[in-house]
Structure 1
Amino acid sequence: MDNASRIPPRTRQARFARKLASAAIGALILGTTGAYAHAEGITSSPYLLGDWGGWRTRLANDGVSFNLGYTGELAHNFTGGDKRITRYSDQWALGTTFDLDKLVGWKGATFQTTFTERNGRNLGADANIGNNMLLQEVYGRGQTVHLTDFWLDQKLFDNKLSVKLGRMTVGEDFASFSCDFQNLTFCGSQPGNLVGSYWVNWPTSQWAARVKLTTSKETYAQVGVYQVNPNYVNDDYARTYGWTLQNPSGTTGALIPLEGGWTPKVNGLPGSYKVGVWYNTSSGKDLYYDINNNSRAQTGLAALNHGGQYGAYINFQQQITGEPGGRGASLFLNISQADRATAQTDRQIAMGVQYKGPFGRPNDSIGFGIGATHNNGRYADYVNQLNALTGSHTVAGDGNEYATEVYYSWSPIPSVFMRLNLQYVVHPGGTSLNHNAFVVGLKTGITF
């Protein structure tokens, strides 16, 4: 029997899919290099490969838009953990947007597909820093190919109502936030940082539906229903089926987020103010109590089951200086609170400022963020009691992990940026038993 025949069929299929995706990306790059060589206006184009000799614009006018992007994140720890090492992780994302009105006359309909592939290593884990929030946000959810988007968005009643169905990530619609920073504390939809076992952000998707109602020029309300299935966040499952449309067995319930938003202009400058709540119909295990409401460390009985899991969030952003949507400073504040009965990290607060266009360079930016992620003391009490009974030395924080990051983003052309960042993490994992970590990072992005 040869080596190939020993590989399980599903594993061979997954490897074939990754090779196919890589081949497609390579073909796209090679096929457009000629156009890029003759492209004009690279200093103003959002795409490194330009307009493909006019084909990109013609395809978009016909209803088909492509996006190929690369993100890489380098990180080195000068303090923290038990070794001084450098790690790199990255992500490719290939997306296609179909304007079905332009393509087939289906009014108000858009179809989106996106595949991502992640690779690399995690500095926090490899250096044993003990941090809660990733020092390289692009790491995680299985270093493999993911089907990230596969959805249809239908707008109705003069675009006042939007109905979205398919495979989606929660964070693209609820508590959505940019990912300019490299530390996860300041990146993406914040509730997923606390309860990522069921609030699933990019690049992992699940079957879902979302309905959004535009209630006025500046306000909206939306509600969603997202499948909750532990298999979607299982690395072994992701490596084999993460790129497919398979609906795995093992669904435990549904995540139902509800959000209201206000997008005013303050002194002519744009703002975004979101308030939301969520409820997960899946049962959750209590962190401290057993089925009889006694200490489960003491009794050894099964954990008390709660009928659901819940939380709330706010997400505020406001430009305060400069030109609307352009050069100037913007402030942000994100706060999320999960239920204390079941969430090991139950609260996160992050705030900061970003400035676009420093030193007369319109594509550059500067950012500063400071945040705290709280470890639930109820879980720490359980672990400490268990340690006393068994002689173990498991570390469980009962305080805040404080993260600070400052970056400068240099963008020589609009399609490329190199973002040097400095991170300092105090009490990684919410405990003074872990040494503070000083990390130097470099986040790079290319839009082809």
Structure 2
Amino acid sequence: MRRRITLLALAGGCALTAAAPAWADDAAADDQPTAKPAATTTAPHAAATAKPPQARHPRDTATGDWGGLRTRLKDAGVSIRADYVSETFSAVDGGLRRGTAYTQQIRAGADFDMDRIAGLSGGTIHLTLNDRRGVGLSSDFVGNRLPIQEAAGGPYARLSEASYEQDIDGGRLNLRVGFFAMGNDLGGMPIGCNLVNAAFCAHPLSMSGNSGWYNYPNARWGAAVRYRLRPDLAIRTGVYQVNPRLGEEENAFKPFVGGTTGVLLPIEAEYDPGTAPGSHAMPGHYKLGFYYDTSTAPRQANPGTVGGRFGGYILADQMILRDGGDNGARGLSVFGQFTANPEASAQITRWYAAGLVKIGTFAGRDADTVALGVVHAQVNERLRAAHADAPAAEGYASLPQGETAIELSYGFQVRRWLSIRPDVQYIADPGAFSYRETDNALALGVQVKMQI
């Protein structure tokens, strides 16, 4: 029988972790968290992005500077990075059944500065390994499509990146080739990672659910290009392998396994007002993108196949209120998402999301965050029509049009290297994508993030 971990016990463990003096001095002034610079609205979530933020200070990580070794390695061109994420959630009402699920991710990697190592200016080699364990509350207890725990899924170790990146003309042109997730560069919304549900952190699930688009930690062979027309305006494109077999556990360390079905071709324009050096405007990020997957795919709710899958998206976040000076990071931001996919090939035809994120919550809590988000994933009408007889057979009125998740979270930045995020989520129509009646669900949990 699976051991159940109560939220009370976990909260007590987190409190002990926060108070432990093993890695940090509670009285040290330089260990107190501070808000991020205004150039980025929020820091990306550790589970969803390609790599954790680089440590800039010995106290940015739980294990410190290793007696100076970490700094010496970085000076020689080798930056070591590692992080841990855990998400423990309980289904307290509705869904399939009540229960508690724990999932975790441990990630380790290194970045090799080829300028310092070999005199190749602007070149960097990235290597990343990822290990996930545990079970998902959505799959085991709630039965919904939008994963309540962002780090759930694919519980095994894998190679997540082996790539080479090259900056040209001072970074105006950036090239990346190798084995990596296309979501590392495209379609991401880091501000959404102030929430825990995978629907917010950090890409709309309609992208990966409706095509060969792959997000971290799922890597594929590819080549990416970013060109900055000016400091706040960039164009991104590339070509990426589509190979479903690389998502199988037996191929976790076999990047050359056969099974390629096509390539995915994206293009994205990004406008980042208020992020250029010296700008005093409130920062924002706006992305407009389109992608085409050349793979042949089954036609939804009809026999036959379609010769390609595609989709488009609009993503935006903008700070609207700022606390303090012109360059302060404390403030209130809003975000929104919209995606569209064709009925012929997509399970999710429309995607809508919106939310609020406040950085700096109370006096002395400059790096704490509070976030509220709502997301709706719409079921393909053709699939709903194909299951039209199900409601009568199951004894309920009609199939829902889609699934909706509402989430509220508070992020405590306990140390530079430790954050604890209590979280509550309400899932409406959790059975929408399984075409069965399922009671609306309430989930409570906590996320712990640690830079190692």
The question of whether the paired residues in 1 share the 8 Å contact of 2:194 and 2:409 is answered with no
- Pair 1:156 & 2:165 matched: no
- Pair 1:241 & 2:251 matched: yes
Q: 1:83 aligns with which of 91, 94, 97?
A: 97
Per-residue deviation, 1:180? 2.6
Give the whole-Å Cα distance in 2 for the aligned partners of 1:392 and 1:86. 27
The question of whether the paired residues in 1 share the 8 Å contact of 2:411 and 2:421 is answered with yes
Q: Deviations over 1:232-276 (max 9, x none)?
A: 22xxx32x221x253121111001110001111296211111100
- Pair 1:367 & 2:371 matched: yes
SS in 2 for 1:428: coil
**Aligned-CA RMSD value:** 2.7
The question of whether the paired residues in 1 share the 8 Å contact of 2:206 and 2:339 is answered with no
Give the whole-Å Cα distance in 1 for the aligned partners of 2:299 and 2:419. 44
Match of 1:172 in 2: 184
Match of 1:133 in 2: 146
SS in 2 for 1:358: coil
Give the whole-Å Cα distance in 1 for the aligned partners of 2:218 and 2:138. 21
Match of 2:126 in 1: 112
- Pair 1:255 & 2:264 matched: yes
The question of whether the paired residues in 2 share the 8 Å contact of 1:396 and 1:429 is answered with no
Q: 1:279 aligns with which of 292, 296, 311?
A: 292
Give the whole-Å Cα distance in 1 for the aligned partners of 2:445 and 2:22. 34
Would you say how many aligned residue pairs link Structure 1 and Structure 2?
A: 393
SS in 2 for 1:307: strand
The question of whether the paired residues in 1 share the 8 Å contact of 2:130 and 2:157 is answered with yes
The question of whether the paired residues in 1 share the 8 Å contact of 2:351 and 2:378 is answered with yes
Counterpart amino acid of 1:210? A
Q: Deviations over 1:194-215 (max 9, x none)?
A: 5266211111101011011111
Match of 1:212 in 2: 226
The question of whether the paired residues in 1 share the 8 Å contact of 2:269 and 2:287 is answered with yes
Q: Deviations over 1:406-431 (max 9, x none)?
A: 01111221110110011001111436
| Pair 1:58–1:251, CA change in 2 (3 A) | same
The question of whether the paired residues in 2 share the 8 Å contact of 1:35 and 1:49 is answered with no
With normalisation by structure 1, the TM-score equals: 0.82
Give the whole-Å Cα distance in 2 for the aligned partners of 1:228 and 1:188. 20
SS in 2 for 1:164: strand
Counterpart amino acid of 2:321? T
Per-residue deviation, 1:192? 5.4
The question of whether the paired residues in 2 share the 8 Å contact of 1:424 and 1:437 is answered with yes
Give the whole-Å Cα distance in 2 for the aligned partners of 1:400 and 1:38. 49
- Pair 1:57 & 2:66 matched: no
Match of 2:157 in 1: 145
The question of whether the paired residues in 1 share the 8 Å contact of 2:245 and 2:251 is answered with no
SS in 2 for 1:55: helix
Give the whole-Å Cα distance in 2 for the aligned partners of 1:282 and 1:392. 36
Which has more radius of gyration? Answer: 1
Q: Deviations over 1:102-139 (max 9, x none)?
A: 11111110111111100001112222x23110011101
- Pair 1:349 & 2:352 matched: yes
Q: 1:421 aligns with which of 401, 420, 423?
A: 423
The question of whether the paired residues in 2 share the 8 Å contact of 1:136 and 1:182 is answered with yes
The question of whether the paired residues in 2 share the 8 Å contact of 1:197 and 1:230 is answered with no
Give the whole-Å Cα distance in 1 for the aligned partners of 2:137 and 2:376. 20
| Pair 1:196–1:285, CA change in 2 (3 A) | closer
The question of whether the paired residues in 2 share the 8 Å contact of 1:363 and 1:414 is answered with no
The question of whether the paired residues in 2 share the 8 Å contact of 1:42 and 1:50 is answered with no
SS in 2 for 1:288: coil
Match of 2:442 in 1: 438
Per-residue deviation, 1:190? 1.4
Per-residue deviation, 1:400? 2.0
List gaps (5 residues or longer) in structure 2: 1-20, 34-58
Q: Deviations over 1:132-182 (max 9, x none)?
A: 100111011x21012111110111233221110001112111111222311
Give the whole-Å Cα distance in 2 for the aligned partners of 1:50 and 1:321. 35
| Pair 1:117–1:397, CA change in 2 (3 A) | farther
Q: 1:102 aligns with which of 87, 109, 116?
A: 116
- Pair 1:410 & 2:419 matched: no
| RCO higher in structure (CA 8 A, sep ≥6) | 2
The question of whether the paired residues in 1 share the 8 Å contact of 2:286 and 2:314 is answered with yes
Give the whole-Å Cα distance in 2 for the aligned partners of 1:232 and 1:268. 43
Give the whole-Å Cα distance in 1 for the aligned partners of 2:298 and 2:343. 11
Give the whole-Å Cα distance in 1 for the aligned partners of 2:113 and 2:343. 44
SS in 2 for 1:215: strand
More helix by share: 1
Give the whole-Å Cα distance in 2 for the aligned partners of 1:160 and 1:441. 42
